[in-house]
Structure 1
Amino acid sequence: MSTTRTTTATNIAHLTGTTTITLTEDELDPYVTHAPTRRWLTGPGLPGDGGLLTFEALRADGLRTVGDSTGDPDGRLAAELRDRLVIGGILGADGRERESVLLDGTTGEISTTYFLHDRPDLMDLRPLAPSLERLVRCATAVDELAALRGQFASYAGRLGPQAVAEATRQLLAVFEAGGTGGEPELFWKLAAVVRPLALVAGPGTASGLTLDLPARLLDEEFGASGIVRFEDVDFPKALTHAPTRRFLREVGLPEEVVWFFLDTDTPLQTLAEYCADAPEGVCAEERLPAHADRLIRLGHLLEDTSLVVDGATGAVLSWSEPDLALRPLNADVSTLAFTLWLIRRERALDAVHELTEAYDQLAEAMSWTLAGVDPVACDPTPATPADDGWRYWPGMFEDEPGGGLCAEV
C-alpha cells in the first residue's frame, strides 16, 4: 500500500474549546480501511494541542506511511512498519517530539517507533493503544492530571502520599477501561505510577520556598538516620536566605541519593572557601564562577560537580569544574528535596512494576514529573551566556548506558 501520495489535514474545528484535526473521507483513502477509525477521524478527530501528544505531523503533512517518510531505498524497513501511518508524536518534558505515533489503517491499532533514517532496519514497534478513541481518552487523562482540571480538578489543594495513591488508582482505572481486560500498555502504566508523584507536595505557602513538603516525608522515605539536619553554627555568614536556612535546619536533606552526596564532615563552606581548603591542584581560585563567595557548597554530584545554593536567593545550582559551567539545578532546596525523594520512589516502584523495561519512556515520565513541580530543573533555556542548556537531572535520568535510573541506590 506504500505510496508517495500525501494529503492535507482539513476541517480544523473548535470543539469544547480545543482545536481539533479531522480528515475527509477522500483524505482517508486508500490509507485507512478500518471503519471505526475512519468514523473517528472524520468525526471527533484528534486534539490539535496537548501536553502529552502532538498531531502536528498530521496537520502539516496529512497521512503518510513510514515507508514514505524514511524513503527506505534499500528495502531494509521491516514489513510490519512500512505501511503504518505517521499521525503524530509523544512530547518530551522539553516540548520536543520524542517517539512517533503510528496508526495501523487496517486494524486501527496505535503504536510508537523511533525514526532511524540511517538504520531503518533497527526500527521497531511498541504498542500504545488499541484504538484512537482509547488513545485520546488516556492522553486527555494525563493532561488533566498535569493541569489539575477535568476529572482531576478535585486534587487541587491536596497533597501527600494519599493523594498520590488515589490519583494513581484513578489513572489506572481510565487506562484499563475499554481494554482487553489485562494491564494497560507499559507507557500508560508508567504515567499512572510516576506522574501522580508530583502531588506529594504543594505550593510553598508556609515554607517561603517553591514547595511545602508533608511533615516527615523525607524521614519516612529515607529513614530518620538517613536525613541530615543542620544547626545555625553550620551555616556560613553568606547564607542569608532565611527560608533556606529554616529548611536545612528543620527538614534537612538525605545524606546520599544515587548521584548526590551531602557534605557532612565539616560546617558548610562557600565555594570559595572550599576551593581554598582543597589540596593543591584540585581547585584553582581563578577558575571559580563569579560570586563564589556567596555560593554555599551543600555537597557534590557525579563527575567533579559541586551542588551549591546561592546564599542570597536560595537558588540551587551545579558547578562543573571540568567545563567551568554554572548551571541551574533546582529552584531551591525544597524542589531539590523533592527530586531526591522522586528518585528514591522510582526505585521502589520499579521493584514492583518493572518500570525500566521501557527505560526511555520511564526517563521521560520522570522528567515530566519533575518539570511539573520544578520547571527550572528541566528548562534548557540558557541562564547565562556560558550556560549550554544541559540539565543535570534529566541528563542523569536519560543515561541508561551509565546506569541511570538503574544505578545502585
Structure 2
Amino acid sequence: MSTMNIAVPAITLTDDQLDPYVTHAATRGWLTGHGLPGASGLFTFEGLRDRGLRTVADSAGAAVSPELRDQLVIGALRAPGAVDAGSILLDGATGAVATTSFLPGHPELMDRAPLAPSLCTLVSFATAADELAGLRGRFASFAGRSGPKAAAEASRKLLEVFEEGTDGELSPFWRMTALIRPLSLVPVPGAASGLALELPGRLLDQEFGQGAVWRFEEVDFPPTLTHGPTRRFLRETGLPESGPLFQLDTDAPLPTLREHHAQDDAEDGVELPLRADQLIRLGYLAEDHSLVVDGETGAVLTFSEPEATLTPLNTDLSTLAFTLWLLHREKALDGALSHALTTEAYDQLATTMLQTLATIDPTAVSLPPTDWHYWTEAFQDEAGGAL
C-alpha cells in the first residue's frame, strides 16, 4: 500500500453557488467552509469544480421520480478504469447523502441508497478509509504488518469508527468497506519469492478446505514452463481446484494452449495466439475462457475461445490466488450477513471489491485498449453470480 499523502485543495462553494439548491444551514456552512476532499480513495468530487451543483433532473431529464428530481449530484464513487460506480447525491433540504446509478434510457427506474446522514460524516468516514489505505493516522500501527489477524484487527477498528459515527445504523457501503478493504493487508507485497505477493502459509487450505487445493508435481509441467517462481508456486502453494467462475485441469499433465486445442475433445477451428506453445493452460474460466500462464514470464492471462483474444488477467499466480481467495472470502462474509451485501447494494459491493483488488494487483482490474477485463466484468455482472 502507498503511504504517500499528497495534499489537494478542498473543493468549496460560495453562497451564491449554493442558492437556491441548498437550504440546510449546516450543509451550507460545510460546503463554504471545510468543503469536500480534493482527493479521496473512495470518492471524487471533481465535477463540482467544473460544473458546480446540478440536479438529477438536469442530468437525467424530467422522467426521474419526484423524490429524485431535486437531489443534487455532487460526486461519484471511485472505481478502476472506466467502471461506472455510481453517483453521490446530496439532499439540499436535509443534508443527507445518498448514492444512485444513472440508467440511460430508463431514468424512471433510478433509485437511491442512503450513504451518510451528513457531509461531515461522509468526509470523516472517507478520511478513515484513506488512513487505512495509506497506513497512516489511526492505522499507522499497521505499517509492516500483514496476515489474516492484522486484517481482522483493522476491520474491527474501521467498523468501530463507522458505527460510532452512525449510532450503529450503518449503510451497506460502509459495512462493505470495513469488512472487505482491510483484506488487502492479508498478503505481503514485494515478495522475495519472485512473485508479486507472499501469501500466508496454508491461507488457501484454510479458506477452501484442505482437500480443495491442488498442488502440481514436476511431471505435470510441460518443458515450456521455465519460469521458476511459477513452478514453485504450483508445487508448494497450489491453487483451488474449482469455484463459481473457474475449474483447474487436474486429470492430466498441464498442456500448452496449442496441445489443448489439438486434443480430440477440444473445440475445432479456434485461431490461436502467437506463442501458443509458451502458454500453459491451467484450466478454464466461465464464458468459454481458458486460464493460461505464460511459461516464460509467469504472467496470467485469459484466452477467449469464441473471440480468439488473449487478455491480461493477473500479474502472476500469487495475485491470481489472492483474487480467488478474495472472491471466496467475500461470499463467506456475505453468507454470515444473510446475504445483505449482495442483495442491498450489489453495485457498491462490486466497486468495493474492485477497489480492494486494485490495491493488490492493478493488472487484475486494469482495462486494456478494448475496455474489457475479465474480473472487472465478472464482478459487475450481478446475474452471473460471481459475488
Corresponding residue for residue 145 of structure 1: 132
Q: Distance in 1 between matches of 2:205 and 2:386?
A: 24
Letter in 2 for 1:288: L
**3-state secondary structure, aligned to 2:9:** strand
Shift of 1:16: 8.6
Corresponding residue for residue 395 of structure 1: 377
Q: Distance in 2 between matches of 1:64 and 1:172?
A: 33
Corresponding residue for residue 94 of structure 2: 107
Letter in 2 for 1:57: G
Corresponding residue for residue 291 of structure 1: 275
* TM-superposition CA deviations, 1:195-230 (whole Å, max 9, x none): 111111011323210000000101111111111111
In the TM superposition, 1:169-184 aligns within 5 A as 169-179=156-166, 181-184=167-170
Which of 148, 153, 168 is the matching residue for 1:161? 148
> 1:100 and 1:266, CA in 2 relative to 1: closer, same or farther beyond 3 A?
same
Corresponding residue for residue 362 of structure 1: 349
Q: Distance in 1 between matches of 2:67 and 2:360?
A: 40
Corresponding residue for residue 24 of structure 1: 14
Corresponding residue for residue 83 of structure 1: 70
In the TM superposition, 1:231-310 aligns within 5 A as 231-279=217-265, 282-284=267-269, 287-310=271-294
- Segments ≥4 residues shifted beyond 3 Å: none
Q: Distance in 2 between matches of 1:277 and 1:178?
A: 60
* TM-superposition CA deviations, 1:1-43 (whole Å, max 9, x none): xxxxxxxxxxxxxx99222111122222222121111111111
Letter in 1 for 2:278: R
Q: Distance in 2 between matches of 1:207 and 1:389?
A: 32
Shift of 1:333: 0.4
Q: Distance in 2 between matches of 1:246 and 1:17?
A: 43
Unpaired stretches in structure 2, ≥5 consecutive residues: none
Q: Distance in 2 between matches of 1:162 and 1:396?
A: 29
Which of 37, 56, 64 is the matching residue for 1:47? 37
**3-state secondary structure, aligned to 2:303:** strand
Greater Cα offset, 258-267 or 21-30: 21-30
Identity %: 60
Asked if the contact 2:154–2:182 (Cα under 8 Å) also holds between the matched residues in 1, the reply is yes
Q: Distance in 2 between matches of 1:216 and 1:16?
A: 37
Q: Distance in 2 between matches of 1:360 and 1:310?
A: 33
Asked if the contact 2:36–2:45 (Cα under 8 Å) also holds between the matched residues in 1, the reply is yes
* TM-superposition CA deviations, 1:328-356 (whole Å, max 9, x none): 01100001111111111011100122210
Corresponding residue for residue 220 of structure 1: 206
Q: Distance in 1 between matches of 2:7 and 2:267?
A: 58
* TM-superposition CA deviations, 1:45-64 (whole Å, max 9, x none): 11122221111221111122
> 1:60 and 1:96, CA in 2 relative to 1: closer, same or farther beyond 3 A?
farther
* TM-superposition CA deviations, 1:364-406 (whole Å, max 9, x none): 1111111111100110033xxxxx231111211111123332x
Corresponding residue for residue 343 of structure 1: 327
**3-state secondary structure, aligned to 2:165:** coil
**3-state secondary structure, aligned to 1:257:** coil
Unpaired stretches in structure 1, ≥5 consecutive residues: 1-14, 383-387
Asked if the contact 2:244–2:386 (Cα under 8 Å) also holds between the matched residues in 1, the reply is no
**3-state secondary structure, aligned to 1:404:** coil
Corresponding residue for residue 12 of structure 1: none
Q: Distance in 1 between matches of 2:108 and 2:185?
A: 41
Which of 174, 177, 181 is the matching residue for 1:195? 181
Shift of 1:193: 0.8
**3-state secondary structure, aligned to 1:380:** coil
Q: Distance in 2 between matches of 1:360 and 1:251?
A: 33
Letter in 2 for 1:213: L
**3-state secondary structure, aligned to 2:85:** strand
Q: Distance in 2 between matches of 1:234 and 1:262?
A: 13
Letter in 2 for 1:136: V
Q: What is the TM-score when the length of structure 1 is the normalising length?
A: 0.89
Shift of 1:173: 1.4
Asked if the contact 2:61–2:107 (Cα under 8 Å) also holds between the matched residues in 1, the reply is no
Q: What is the TM-score when the length of structure 2 is the normalising length?
A: 0.94
Asked if the contact 2:82–2:371 (Cα under 8 Å) also holds between the matched residues in 1, the reply is no
Q: Distance in 1 between matches of 2:318 and 2:22?
A: 50
Shift of 1:156: 2.4
> 1:96 and 1:339, CA in 2 relative to 1: closer, same or farther beyond 3 A?
closer
> 1:16 and 1:403, CA in 2 relative to 1: closer, same or farther beyond 3 A?
closer
Shift of 1:95: 5.7
